[in-house]
Structure 1
C-alpha cells in the first residue's frame, strides 16, 4: 500500500467527509469526492462526482471506470425518535444510506482495489445503543458486521476494512433540525470532537503503517466510554 493513493470518499461536501478529503489531499492523495452538493475544495488532486448514493444505477454509472486504492464511506444522516413515535420512513432512509449504500459501494469497488487497498466506514459511538436513536444506532451497528465480514473475505488480498466510530462531532449534521428532538451530548472532555480529528485517524488507517489493523471499530469518544 502506497502512502499517496487514490481515495473515493462519499459525503465529500461537508462535515467529516469534507475534512477527510482535505486531509488526504494535504498528504498527497488523489481524491474523488462523491456527494450531491459541490464541496468547497479547490485542489488539482480533487475531482467531484455528483452522485445520489440511494440511486443504484446512478451510483454505478458515476463510478464506471474508477479504480481507487481506498474507499471511504463517510456520508451519513442522523434521525432520532423514541419508541411509540418511530418513523419507519426515517429508519429506511438511515438503513439505505449507511448500510445499503456501503454494500453497493464495496461491491462495485472492492474487486477493483489493488492488493493492500483500504475500505473505511464511518460509524458512530451510538452503535452501542443510545436512547431515542435506535434506528440510527442499528444502521451504524450493522457497519461493524459488514466490516468484519469483508475484512475476513479480503484478507488474502491484504485489503483492510475498518470502522471509525466518533461520538458527537462538530459538523452541520449536529445542528440539523431534521435530526429530531434528541439533543447531542457534550463529551466529557468538555467540547465536541473536531472533524479534523476524525480525518486524522482515517488518514492513518488508510496509510501503510495500518496494514495490520483490519476488522476493527476504532472509537473517538472524548471520554464518553470511560
Structure 2
C-alpha cells in the first residue's frame, strides 16, 4: 500500500488531498497543528508546530517510509511597503520554504524509484502588489523545486509545484490576508480544494512520471491577463 505524508492536513487543500488519497487506497500520515480525527484505519494524524524548527526532524524519525511527500501547509499575509513586518516574513519563510527544504532534504535519499515530492505554491509567485513577503516564499519554492527536480531525476523521483489561484479555504479568509475580498477568476467562481487535490493526485500517478520541475497553475483563468 502506498504511503503519503501530507502537511497542513487539518483543513483546506491539505485536508482535501488527504481525503482524496484515502479514497484511492493510500495510507496517509497527516501533519498539522491539531490532531485530525478520521474514521479510517489508514490515516494517522500527528500534531506538530511546523514553526518549531526542531519539531519536524523529531517527527519524521517516527514516521514510516513514504512513497510521496506533499507539503500543503501554508499561511497568508499581506502588507504594503512601509508596513512590512520582519517577523511575519520569517514565519512565512519558515513554513513555506524551510519546511519544504527539510522534507526534501530528509527524504531525497529515502524515497523509492517513482517517489514524488509535491509542494503547494501559488499563482502569485510571479508577483502581487501588497503581498511581497508571501510572494517571495512562493517564488523561492519554484526555483528550489526545479533544482531539486534536476538533482533527483536520475533517481526516478519527481518534484513539482501545484500553484492554485484563489481557492475557497479558511486561509483565504485569514485576517492577515487582505482587507479586500479575493478576486473571482474568469470562470466566475473560486477554485475548490478538491480541484487542487485532483491535480495533486494526477501528479502522483504513474502517468505523471515524466512531469518534473514544473509549476502547474490551477487558477480558473486568473493568470491569463
TM-score normalised by structure 1 residue count = 0.95
2:14 alignment partner in structure 1: 17
Q: Deviations over 1:53-80 (max 9, x none)?
A: 1223221111114310000000000000
- Give me the whole-angstrom Cα distance separating, in 2, the residues matched to 1:121 and 1:178: 22
1:83 alignment partner in structure 2: 81
Q: Is the 1:56–1:104 contact (alpha carbons within 8 Å) kept by the matching residues of 2?
A: no
Q: Is the 1:13–1:40 contact (alpha carbons within 8 Å) kept by the matching residues of 2?
A: no
- Give me the whole-angstrom Cα distance separating, in 1, the residues matched to 2:182 and 2:34: 25
- Give me the whole-angstrom Cα distance separating, in 2, the residues matched to 1:15 and 1:128: 23
Q: Do residues 146 (structure 1) and 152 (structure 2) align?
A: no
1:158 alignment partner in structure 2: 156
Q: Do residues 62 (structure 1) and 84 (structure 2) align?
A: no
1:182 CA drift (Å): 4.7
Q: Is the 2:37–2:45 contact (alpha carbons within 8 Å) kept by the matching residues of 1?
A: no
The equivalences for 1:47-58 within 5 A come to 47-58=44-55
Helix, strand or coil at the partner of 1:151: helix
State which of 167, 170, 173 in structure 2 corresponds to 1:169: 167
Tell me which stretches of 4 or more aligned residues in structure 1 moved more than 3 Å.
none
1:178 CA drift (Å): 2.7
Q: Is the 1:94–1:136 contact (alpha carbons within 8 Å) kept by the matching residues of 2?
A: yes
Give the CA RMSD over aligned residues.
1.2
Q: Deviations over 1:109-136 (max 9, x none)?
A: 2221111100000000011111111110
2:216 alignment partner in structure 1: 218
- Give me the whole-angstrom Cα distance separating, in 1, the residues matched to 2:106 and 2:171: 27
Aligned length: 223
Q: Do residues 44 (structure 1) and 48 (structure 2) align?
A: no
TM-score normalised by structure 2 residue count = 0.96
